[in-house]
């Protein structure tokens, strides 16, 4: 299947700093990527849809000014958590599809805000 | 509003037996359904999917059944193996796999040797 990578795999930062997470589709082009968040022992919650060349579409309750998404190319989307706080600590996962039977998920990024 | 629900948070099955994981949904617009397997601190791994025009899809040990009138789908794993132990999520979308997915709450499957 197609491969989606994420970087970094885990990050620890101080409260108030910003953190950028990259999501790449390695062997296919993706005009649309998705960002999810998973809190411990909970489901994956869709945060936003990342559209190449245009603004992201955010789900209800997700602050667009706090979670900045940039889909700079057909293989790269970035999520920047601005002014991170401890409650932003979570597992962030991206996905992308190529028109087949599934979306392919990245390995996830564990964010810990101290 | 939880549009996709997995009412069993956990399931324990003996090796070699059948595992049946259930999923219910409320949005009648959903027309594509997927099952993923997930380990802690990893991304979901795709298992099998089904379009709403079908009522059954089979891939090796995995079979998904869809009952549209009941808004219910299930994943059958036969025979179950210890390596199947993980959290299983069902997900649904409108318009196919490349559109946004709504995930269920997950079921932790433990296959006992």
Please say if the pLDDT value at position A92 is more than 70.
yes
Per-residue pLDDT tens digits for B19-57:
999 999 999 999 999 999 999 888 999 999 999 999 999
Beta-carbon contacts of residue B27 (< 8 Å; ≥ 6 apart): B3, B92, B94, B102
Mean pLDDT of A64-92: 94
Please say if the pLDDT value at position A100 is more than 90.
no
| A56: contact with B, CB 8 A cutoff | no
Distance from CA of B97 to the nearest CA of A (A): 5
Please say if the pLDDT value at position A1 is more than 70.
no
Which residues on chain B are in Cβ contact (under 8 Å) with A34?
100-101
Which residues on chain A are in Cβ contact (under 8 Å) with B89?
43-44
Per-residue pLDDT tens digits for A13-62:
999 999 999 999 998 888 889 999 998 888 999 999 988 888 899 999 99
Please say if the pLDDT value at position A98 is more than 80.
no
- What integer pLDDT is reported at residue B82 of this predicted model? 96
Output A113 or A98, whichever has higher pLDDT. Answer: A113
Comparing CB atoms, the residue among B45, B100, B105 nearest residue A34 is: B100
Mean pLDDT of B68-93: 97
Mean pLDDT of B5-27: 97
* Band of pLDDT at residue A101, cut at 50, 70 and 90: confident
- What integer pLDDT is reported at residue A2 of this predicted model? 80
> Which pair of structure tokens corresponds to residue B58?
């089979």
- What integer pLDDT is reported at residue B41 of this predicted model? 84
For B88, the enclosing helix (H) or strand (E) is strand B86-93
Closest by CA position to B73, among listed B39, B44, B48, B108: B48
* Band of pLDDT at residue B15, cut at 50, 70 and 90: very high
CB contact under 8 A, B89 and A43: yes
* Residue B68 CB-half CA count within 13 A: 13
Question: Exposure pattern of B3-32 as b/e (b: 16+ CB <10 Å)?
Answer: ebebeeeebebeeeeebbbbbbbeeeebbb
Q: Report the alpha-carbon distance of residue A70 to residue A79 in Å, rounded.
A: 7
Please say if the pLDDT value at position A76 is more than 90.
yes
């Amino acid at each position: 299947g197609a491969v989606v990578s994420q970087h970094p795999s885990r990050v620890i930062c101080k409260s108030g700093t910003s953190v950028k997470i990259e999501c790449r589709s390695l062997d296919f082009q993706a005009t649309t990527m998705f960002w999810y968040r998973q809190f411990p022992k909970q489901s994956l919650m869709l945060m936003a849809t990342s559209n190449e060349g245009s603004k992201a579409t955010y789900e209800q309750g997700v602050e667009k000014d706090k979670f900045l998404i940039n889909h700079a190319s057909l293989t790269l989307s970035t999520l920047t958590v601005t002014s991170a706080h401890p409650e932003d600590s979570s597992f962030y996962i991206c996905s992308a599809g190529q028109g087949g039977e599934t979306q392919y998920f990245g390995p996830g990024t564990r964010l810990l805000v101290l | 509003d939880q549009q996709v629900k997995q009412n069993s948070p956990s399931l324990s099955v003996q090796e070699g037996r059948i595992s049946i994981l259930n999923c219910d949904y409320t949005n009648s617009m959903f027309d594509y359904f997927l099952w993923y397997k997930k380990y802690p601190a990893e991304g979901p791994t795709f298992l099998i999917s089904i379009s709403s025009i079908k009522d059954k899809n089979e891939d090796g040990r995995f079979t998904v059944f869809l009952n549209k009138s009941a808004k219910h789908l299930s994943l059958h794993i036969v025979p179950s193996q210890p390596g199947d132990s993980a959290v299983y999520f069902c997900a649904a979308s409108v318009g196919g796999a490349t559109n946004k997915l709504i995930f269920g709450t997950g079921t932790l499957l433990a296959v006992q040797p």
